[in-house]
Amino acid sequence: MSALIVRVQSEALTALGARARAALVEEPMADAGGRAVKLLLVEHFTELNEERHRAGGEHFYADAARSVQNPETTGGQATIAIDKIGLAQRLFGGTIRAINGKYLAIPVEGTDAVGKVPADFTNLQFFKTKRGGGLKLKRAVASVVGHVRTGKNKGKSRNEADIIGDVVLFWLVPSVDQDADPTVLPADEEMQSVAYDAMDQFLTRRLASNN
Amino acid sequence: MIAVEPMPFSEAVKALAEKNLLADYMTSADIRALDAALKNQSFFSAQTTDEYLLKLYQDRIGGLLNPVRVSGAATTEYSPAYVARAIKDFLASVNYAPAPEDAGTIKDLGSDARVSLVLQTNKQLAQGQGNWLQSQRAGVLDSFPADELFRLEERAKKRDWLARWRLAGEQTDDPIGTGWTITPALRLIALKNHDIWNWIGSSELFDDALDVIWPPFAFNSGMWVKDVSRATCEEIGLLDKGEAAPEPANIVSAIESFSNKISKFAEEVAA
């Protein structure tokens, strides 16, 4: 899959790497730094899940936390992959276009549509809008309940569905422009800092044990 | 540097792919009674006899763990909502109908609750096992010798994990503070590969447990584990300064040990 790949680099880390190379512990030191960044990512996604989770929807950031992999180390550099589809889209932003059909179906927040797809409903009705359309739930009850005396329908009988109003479950749009959101990941400086601390501690301990 | 590149969570994908399909008329309680060693090799869904359905679940969850996406193609099929729809469409195509009294409940194979539980539980078990396997490296164990059990997802009704942690710890030969602990801030921390991990997900202690040594330890749990650094372990007294880290464990022997422990416990209780 296309995973989001995080590689943490800085001059300070390069300098530590040179010391580790000399002590023949370059790979395990990079592993320790990468694992520290993994922990930071897990904690970051845990916080985002607390802040941004919407009732009824997928725990997106919790799943991102579970998808952070162990660092892969090569040449003293640690690479961390996050196998969560949609995470790169949130980070970099960009346009999402409907490919398989004419429209993207966007569930309306606060309705039963969150976490579902249009095919999960059997009684949706299409209506057109300027940008595309929508899918509304046609209420089953349509008995005449009386006279409405306001607005342009004044004096006319209306059924209950009209009075209550249909419930829009999905908006249909041909594309969505999503802004980039750099807060999806911790700041570079923070990742560099935790990597440096973990690598420095590892190297200090390893050199002390060699003495 | 941040980039987007192909890199599957291979341990999780492999863990899922290697599972045998366990199709039978077993309830969740029956499944828990299975030997843990067998269960860890089995993809399961209580009372699901249709092997095709289990295979469909397995394939779709594999897709969620490792979406093989062609550049420019839609990602729709990797959305959990669309995966759930595919399962329901299959059930409709074979004219599945639940018993009237089960309709809409967890026993209804096509209910939202049931489909979501099966997808979520099996996907997370594969992720938990993959993470466990990735942790069994000397360098990782040396720098991050312990795991913390923590709440990753909120739940309307929460289990009392603090009480469970104490109970699981009491089954080990170690008193609190030795190998496992509860910090003043109520953090639940234990050395990796400590015996407490054999008990926290054991159905011998907890009816809703999944009989695994990695998260999620119980059905629909919002708990997960994360690394704890050596510095923190030394600070809270789980390790002395410079003390050796836990040894890497082999998955086969870890599961065997877990299974034997449960069997011994069951015999003691029976006696």
> If you average pLDDT over every residue of chain B, what do you get?
79
* Domains held by chain A: number: 2
| pLDDT over 70 (residue B183) | yes
User: Please, which residues have CB within 8 angstroms of residue B146's CB and are 6 or more apart in sequence?
Assistant: B189, B190, B191, B192, B227, B228, B232, B233, B238
Question: How many CB atoms within 10 Å of residue B36?
Answer: 25
Place of tokens 């889209």: A89
Sort out which chain B residues have CB atoms less than 8 A from A66's CB and list them: 124, 127-128, 131, 152, 224
Omega before A107 cis (within 30°)?
no
Residues of the domain holding A167: 95-176
Please give, rounded to a whole number of angstroms, the shortest distance from the CA of A65 to a CA of chain B: 8
Interface confidence, given as ipTM, is: 0.78
Question: Is the minimum CB–CB distance between B155 and chain A shorter than 8 Å?
Answer: no
Amino acid at A15: A
User: What pLDDT, in 10s, does the model give residues B54-96?
Assistant: 677 677 777 666 665 556 666 666 778 888 888 888 888 888 8
- Which of A29-33, A139-143, A158-162 is predicted least confidently? A158-162
Residues A160 and A195 in one domain: no
| pLDDT over 70 (residue B130) | yes
User: What pLDDT, in 10s, does the model give residues A64-89?
Assistant: 999 998 888 777 678 888 988 889 88
Amino acid at B44: F
Domain boundaries along the sequence of chain B:
10-127, 143-270
Closest CA to B91 of B76, B113, B108: B108
Residues A106 and A26 in one domain: no
Residues A116 and A156 in one domain: yes
User: What pLDDT, in 10s, does the model give residues A120-137?
Assistant: 888 888 888 888 888 888
The pLDDT of A47-67, averaged and rounded, is 90
- Which of A30-39, B129-138, B163-172, B194-203 is predicted least confidently? B129-138
User: Which of A69, A96, A193 is the best substitution to test chain B (most B C-beta atoms within 10 A)?
Assistant: A69
pLDDT band at A18 (very low <50, low <70, confident <90, very high): confident
| Partner residue facing A32 (CB), from B6, B66, B143 | B143
Please give, rounded to a whole number of angstroms, the shortest distance from the CA of A126 to a CA of chain B: 20
Phi, then psi, of A20 in degrees rounded to 5: -65, -35
pLDDT of residue A141: 45
User: What pLDDT, in 10s, does the model give residues B136-160?
Assistant: 888 889 899 999 999 999 998 999 9
Residues A136 and A166 in one domain: yes
Q: Cα-Cα-Cα-Cα dihedral of B100, B103, B105, B111, to 10°?
A: 160
B/e letters for A59-95, b = 16+ CB within 10 Å, e = fewer, are: bbbbbbbbbbbbbbbeebbbbbbbbbbbbbbbbbeee
Sort out which chain A residues have CB atoms less than 8 A from B187's CB and list them: none
Q: Distances in Å between the alpha carbon of B185 and those of A33, A186, B152, B181, B236? A: 26, 25, 17, 11, 11
| Partner residue facing B143 (CB), from A46, A116, A202 | A202
Burial of B92 (0-12, 13-18, 19+ CB in 10 A): exposed
| pLDDT over 60 (residue B108) | yes
| pLDDT over 50 (residue A160) | no
The conformation of residue B69, written as its DSSP 8-state character, comes to P
- Considering chain B, what percentage of its residues have pLDDT values greater than 90? 32
Residues A87 and A132 in one domain: no
Please give, rounded to a whole number of angstroms, the shortest distance from the CA of B265 to a CA of chain A: 31
Question: Is the minimum CB–CB distance between A120 and chain B shorter than 8 Å?
Answer: yes
Sort out which chain A residues have CB atoms less than 8 A from B137's CB and list them: 31, 70
Beta strands in chain B (DSSP E): 2-6, 20-22, 42-44, 146-151, 180-182, 188-191, 223-228
Q: How far is residue B170's CA from residue B202's CA, in Å, rounded to a whole number?
A: 13
Residues A11 and A81 in one domain: yes
pLDDT of residue A206: 80
User: Please, which residues have CB within 8 angstroms of residue A11's CB and are 6 or more apart in sequence?
Assistant: none
| Partner residue facing B153 (CB), from A59, A86, A116 | A59
**Cβ–Cβ below 8 Å for B80 and A115:** yes
Phi, then psi, of B13 in degrees rounded to 5: -65, -40
Question: Is the minimum CB–CB distance between A84 and chain B shorter than 8 Å?
Answer: no
pLDDT band at B179 (very low <50, low <70, confident <90, very high): very high
